[in-house]
Chains A and B, each alone.
Chain A
């Protein structure tokens, strides 16, 4: 066969294969770049931990040097601060939520669309949101059109309370430790950007028993429980507090009530107020 006819005959397959090679090349290099970026993030976490450790060493050295007065003075200051602003839990009304911000995944999207806090609080929520995506992805609509990242939005506007509900999307990937480390980083960052805000870590909402047993992509209640236990430890009960939202929507066995959901994961529109009722019954006031 002549070359020209050959090209005519097989041309399409050749184009398909060439594009396939380009695609594979692009795909793999993108993944490799991503892995490298992820490793850098872990490195950053480690180095921060190292810094914290060396910090502790510093204080230890201080006390060795006998400079104990400074330390006790510090302690006294914090004690008096705590005495002035002691957090207590109490029930609140809608007004409490006027300067509240909710950050979260699709479950928070549901909250923003169907709960009675709609139109009262601010919501930075996006379907499929993870901690890793949170600061990078442009999800907050700007007044003049377009979108900015949560990080940018947090520098532009200050809130009184920030409710976070994240964790289900990364449930199937990464270790518990890595999850808690990145969550903790997120809180530190928010603390810096929002110096006056009270931060609430909301527990990850459970799934139904049936959904948990299916264990799709590693989503099950045992794991949610484990991660929630970790989240609880991130609360310092001074500025950062933990709220378990599960009692509002779960059955006695600690799984999402199947009556409240169609897919076993998300609340149906009319049940979002069970969640907000719990938040309203449990807010921190400083007295």
Chain B
């Protein structure tokens, strides 16, 4: 079920909240677990099956690893089981990435791998209750689009939830902000991006190519940031602390910094389970670059197996390596590089990607020109571009902080929610939101 759907916002979530409210605290993990299974099952029954298999495997393996670790003699056995667990998780992930994706699999596979490694390292105890483990792995707020959480961060929430009327209100407000980011900015700018695709990249002017890249950069941010905020909001409503995934990334001044502020939990995961175990930056500059290279190859693969993701990761790896040598700190440089990298991220067909790059740098003449196409593009989405650019700055956090506890702020936020609902209904009944005939 999509966070941005009427079924979720007006049916599933309110119903679930009411049940959660009347449910005694000790039964809430059960409710969260089974509710999340229903959440997945309603959208994708195949996804539910895969999730359950993954859940049982990881639950059992963690207990086995812990058992073997308790015996002093069998360290190798525990390492073997851990490797098996990692390979199993990655195989499932690989299989479904290639053969049509299952809901949230990239996120919960990585969450599970992290969990197994933490158990192996004895940083946490293997969860003995499958319900609690299930609630941790499958909880619906973070299932589809992350964030990737660590067990130790959520463990206390599984025992006692900070569930109150205040937390529900705060949660709803965050959910609204996230929903607005997705519906009012991301989805709209995505339409412009789609128009470029329909026109054919060989027939867009160079300024339009850059405006398209900007539109996609904002779209991707507000889509993903919106989802993350909705996840945090849903978590808050249930008294669960879900970590931040974004920290105004477009305000950064280097790619290194950017990826500490963009999809933070994935970066942390790679740092914790790949980069640091390989030696991080403690074994000389060359070894550091090798480690970074491995991390970026894996990060690319996590996003997808087509060549364009490796081009994306390659651009970022090169920039990060260069930054280590040259100590670059520039906002313009960052935006320039990130926009180019997002184009590579967006266009999965390499031939089309090359065409797009050629048009960005005017390396080939335009096939059919439509002068002023970029002015027309801006004039059709002025509100979205303006809002997107403003909301990419920290101002939005300040404004939110001011209005969220004011009565007029409540009226505005509630209004935004219903405007979003209205947009969802209109666009749901409009066949061609992305087709735009």
Contacts and interface: CB of A to CB of B under 8 A. Distances in A.
Given A19-B414, A219-B431, A107 B437 contact: yes
Given A11-B410, A19-B415, A265 B203 contact: no
A269 B205 CA distance: 12
Contacts of B370: 113-114, 118, 269
A227 to B, nearest CB: 14
Interface string A118-144: 100000000110000000000000000
A265 B431 CA distance: 12
B172 A12 contact: yes
Contact of B169 (A12, A113, A219, A265): A12
Interface in B329-387: 367-368, 370, 373
Interface in B151-183: 165-166, 168-169, 172-173
A23 B424 CA distance: 14
A27 B426 CA distance: 11
B197 to A, nearest CB: 5
Nearest to A167: B437
B311 to A, nearest CB: 20
Interface in A157-204: 168-169, 172
Interface in B378-437: 407, 410-411, 413-415, 417-418, 421-422, 425, 430-432, 434-437
Interface residues of A, number: 37
A18 B407 CA distance: 14
Given A262-B197, A266-B198, A269-B203, A217 B431 contact: yes
B73 interface: no
A23 B413 CA distance: 14
A106 B437 contact: yes
A25 B169 CA distance: 24
The dominant DSSP class at the B interface is helix
Given A128-B430, A263-B435, A114 B169 contact: no
Nearest to A205: B437
B99 interface: no
Contact of A16 (B172, B194, B430): B172
A19 B418 contact: yes
B134 to A, nearest CB: 29
B200 interface: yes
A128 B411 contact: no
Contacts of A266: 198, 435, 437
B212 to A, nearest CB: 14
Contact of B173 (A9, A12, A23, A272): A12
B199 interface: yes
Contact of A27 (B194, B373, B422): B422
A263 B431 contact: no
B200 A168 contact: no
A178 B199 CA distance: 32
B431 to A, nearest CB: 3
Nearest to B431: A217
Given A11-B407, A114-B370, A23 B421 contact: yes
A270 B200 contact: yes
Contacts of B194: 263
Contact of B418 (A20, A107, A168, A217): A20
A13 to B, nearest CB: 6
B380 to A, nearest CB: 9
Contacts of B437: 105-107, 127-128, 168-169, 265-266
Interface string A7-30: 001111101101110010001000
A107 B432 CA distance: 13
Most chain B CB within 10 A, of A20, A169, A217, A268, is at A268
A242 B168 CA distance: 61
A110 B434 CA distance: 16
B66 interface: no
A9 B165 contact: yes
Nearest to B366: A269
A3 interface: no
Nearest to B416: A19
A216 interface: yes
Contacts of B413: 12, 16
A262 B407 contact: no
Interface in B181-238: 194, 197-200, 202-203
A265 B435 CA distance: 8
A201 B414 CA distance: 47
Contacts of B166: 9
B165 A10 contact: yes
Given A9-B169, A12-B410, A172-B431, A270 B418 contact: no
Contact of B199 (A11, A27, A168, A269): A269
Interface string B316-339: 000000000000000000000000
A127 B415 CA distance: 28
B435 A19 contact: no
Interface string A201-239: 000000000000000111100000000000000000000
Contact of A114 (B199, B425, B435, B436): B199
15 contacts: A9-B169, A11-B407, A12-B413, A19-B414, A20-B414, A23-B421, A27-B422, A114-B203, A127-B437, A128-B432, A263-B194, A263-B197, A266-B435, A269-B370, A272-B368
Interface of B: 165-166, 168-169, 172-173, 194, 197-200, 202-203, 367-368, 370, 373, 407, 410-411, 413-415, 417-418, 421-422, 425, 430-432, 434-437
The 5 closest A-B pairs by CB, nearest first: A217-B431, A269-B203, A268-B200, A23-B418, A16-B414
Given A269-B202, A269-B367, A270-B202, 8 more contacts: A16-B414, A19-B418, A118-B370, A128-B432, A169-B431, A216-B431, A263-B434, A268-B203
